[in-house]
Amino acid sequence: MKTGVVPGRATRQGYALLMTLFFIGVALLIFSSTLTWTSSSSIVTERNNAYNRAIAAAEASTEQVLSHIIRDFASQSYNPMALGVYRNLIPTNEWASQYVFDDGEGGVDLTWVDSSVGMVMTNLDSQFAGLYGFVYTCRVRSNARQVGTAFTEAAAAVRQDFQLASIPVFQFAIFYSLDLEVNPGPSMRITGKVHGNRDIYTSPGNSLVYEDTVGAVGKIYHHRHPDDPTSPSGIQPVYEDLRVEGDSSLTLPIGVSNSPSAVMQILDPPPFGEDPRSPLGRQRFHNKADLIIHASATNTLLVLFNSSGDGTSYSVVPDASLRTGTNYTFIATNTTYYDYRERKPVVGTEIDVGKFRRWMETNTTGINLVSQKGRALNSLYVKDGRSVSGRLTAVRLVNAQTLPANGLTVATPHPLYVRGHYNASDLTPGSANTVNTRPASLIADAITIQSGNWSDTYNSGTAFSSRTAANTTVNAAFLAGIVQTTNSAGSKKYSGGVENFPRFLENWGDRTFTYNGSMVVLFPSRYATSFWVAPGSSGGVYGAPNRRWAFDTNFLTMNKLPPLTPQLQKLVRGQWMVVAADSPN
């Protein structure tokens, strides 16, 4: 028997082994490639992460500089000629030790900072578009590079452009530092920008249209304040432009807390020893007004001329130049009338604006003071030191249909009353045309309008029906306090809202109050503190006028702003960008 070899089995086994080795090789190759790809991907990811961390570090460096600039600008100590103090700022946090910071120009441990030398008037950027201000134009840049890692080449640079802006407050149709309430009964259109440093409550009884931007640092609620006893209407206002919540706060540069009680001090005379060039001193109207009128507790009158313009130097205006016989030419200190809301007689100082204007034009002393200023005197500060139990001390302006040619601002810490037309000589009273009006503002604890029909013979017994108002026009910015909405001893009280910001004491019926200006509230009233009472209700003291109100667009032109217009300060952010590290600044 012969034994034979079966061909093919060994061949097949060898072929299978070769195929197995081949596929193992392919798998190893794929696995190796995957490891290589994974490693490369991890490196790219880590490099990207290192770059993003460097961006964050560079941004932190620029923000540190900005925080110091904001602080100094608010305290009015910013000096664009001394930027070294900011350029030497870099982060010193624990994490910052991992980074080297430079200014992109070879300076290590430095930040690049640039600023215009002086302030110029220009349009504002960002959320304040449409407004203008006096600004420093600034830029800050930082380069950051992480050390002690494999990715030191992953440097990054951040650049921020911004403006340090002083914004005239009367560019706003309505500006409130307190809660802002807008709840008119009749239809209303608000024609300028609206800003609230707190919350806005707006629930009108009829159509309400905001034609321009409405911004609140807090929230904008379409219901009434929780302490307002009035039932909500369910009507929502119409916004024809932007509506912004969480807006930037705007404050006065008074050098201390911008609480309403602190800001209120701008109405007061400076305390003894205060530097008039201090941040608060610079904001006091007493230190800025051309003439300071003091009526003392003994009925004597002292009038000072602010020769320096900043409260550092005054001269006494001779009493004889202010008198005609035994009476003061344009100042009365024996005026009395009755305030139905405060339920008190009023005693105070009265300024006859027409006589003041003529005094500057015809009196030797008045002419001399105008010559020293190089212009007509356009600002008065009035303080009445009399305090009579059961009476309200106040200031009143009369005969003011025609103002001095370059305008007039009147400021007082007391309640202020205006009788008759104000700043309406060059137009038909009742007209919304303000082309020929003069720059004007009224600044006080509270502002009350008395029509041309008002009589000082009115007293606590005068019937409401006998106090009939006449059509009245006032063209001036208002800056005053209000009595805030609150819950008093379990009784809810409404402030009256913007629609009742100017106070009234007469039966207006179908008469019209025409107003063109800007309404600003920075603090609560200190002296005229009685709560608002709705017209027609029990205890009501006036009948609401027809309101023909508008923002005075003159205030959007620099040379038409009222004298001594307060300036709000704000850092306005512009362009933020990541730029190539170590590229030219």
Which of residues 121 and 195 earns the better pLDDT score? 195
Residue type, 343: R
Q: What are phi and psi of 426, to 5 degrees?
A: -95, 15
- Looking at residue 1, its pLDDT comes to 46
pLDDT band at 357 (very low <50, low <70, confident <90, very high): very high
Q: What is the DSSP string of 281-338?
A: HHH-HHHH-SEEEEE-TTS-EEEEEESSSSSS-EEEPPGGGGEETTEESSEEEEEEEE
Short-list 440, 415, 395, CA closest to 524 = 415
Is the Cα dihedral 353, 357, 363, 364 positive or negative?
A: positive
Asked if residue 17 has pLDDT above 70, the reply is: no
pLDDT, average across residues 255-260: 81
pLDDT, average across residues 455-481: 96
CA dihedral 188, 194, 195, 199 (to 10 degrees): 30
pLDDT, average across residues 356-381: 96
Report how far residue 296's alpha carbon sits from residue 471's, in angstroms, rounded to the nearest whole number: 35
- Looking at residue 528, its pLDDT comes to 97
- Looking at residue 167, its pLDDT comes to 93
Q: How many CB atoms lie within 10 A of CB 257?
A: 10
Asked if residue 414 has pLDDT above 70, the reply is: yes
Short-list 511, 350, 362, 489, CA closest to 416 = 350
- Looking at residue 26, its pLDDT comes to 63
Mean pLDDT, the chain, rounded, equals: 90
Distance from chain centroid for Cα 558: 17
In the chain, what percentage of residues exceed pLDDT 90? 69
Q: What is the pLDDT of residues 393-412, one digit of tens each?
A: 999 999 999 999 899 999 99
Short-list 510, 422, 464, CA closest to 186 = 510
Cβ atoms of residues 480 and 448 within 8 Å: no
Cβ atoms of residues 238 and 211 within 8 Å: no
Report how far residue 106's alpha carbon sits from residue 581's, in angstroms, rounded to the nearest whole number: 12
Q: What is the DSSP string of 480-527?
A: EEE---EEETTEEE----GGGSSEE-SB-TT-EEEEEE-EEEEEE-SS
By DSSP bridging, strand 99-102 and strand 132-146 are: antiparallel
Short-list 545, 532, 541, 406, CA closest to 474 = 545
pLDDT, average across residues 489-505: 96
pLDDT band at 40 (very low <50, low <70, confident <90, very high): low
Q: What is the pLDDT of residues 145-158, one digit of tens each?
A: 888 776 666 788 99
pLDDT, average across residues 77-103: 91
Q: Is 360 helix (H, G, I), strand (E, B) or coil?
A: helix
Distance from chain centroid for Cα 515: 21
pLDDT band at 181 (very low <50, low <70, confident <90, very high): very high
pLDDT, average across residues 250-272: 89
Report how far residue 98's alpha carbon sits from residue 85's, in angstroms, rounded to the nearest whole number: 23
- Looking at residue 329, its pLDDT comes to 93
Q: Which residues have a Cβ under 8 Å from the Cβ of 425 and sit 6 or more positions away? A: 401, 402, 403
Residue 315 corresponds to which tokens in the numbers above?
Answer: 């001269």
- Looking at residue 453, its pLDDT comes to 97
CA dihedral 472, 476, 480, 483 (to 10 degrees): 30
- Looking at residue 325, its pLDDT comes to 82
Q: How many CB atoms lie within 10 A of CB 149?
A: 14
pLDDT, average across residues 68-85: 89
Distance from chain centroid for Cα 1: 119
Report how far residue 34's alpha carbon sits from residue 38's, in angstroms, rounded to the nearest whole number: 6
Distance from chain centroid for Cα 495: 21
Q: What is the pLDDT of residues 425-462, one digit of tens each?
A: 766 655 666 778 999 999 999 999 999 999 999 999 99
Number of H helices, E strands in the chain: 7, 37
Cβ atoms of residues 290 and 306 within 8 Å: yes
pLDDT, average across residues 50-72: 91
Report how far residue 93's alpha carbon sits from residue 449's, in angstroms, rounded to the nearest whole number: 58
User: Biggest alpha carbon distance in the chain?
Assistant: 165
pLDDT band at 537 (very low <50, low <70, confident <90, very high): confident
Cβ atoms of residues 112 and 141 within 8 Å: yes
Q: 364-373 vs 353-362: helix axis angle to the nearest 10?
A: 80
pLDDT band at 50 (very low <50, low <70, confident <90, very high): confident
pTM: 0.86
Report how far residue 568's alpha carbon sits from residue 249's, in angstroms, rounded to the nearest whole number: 10
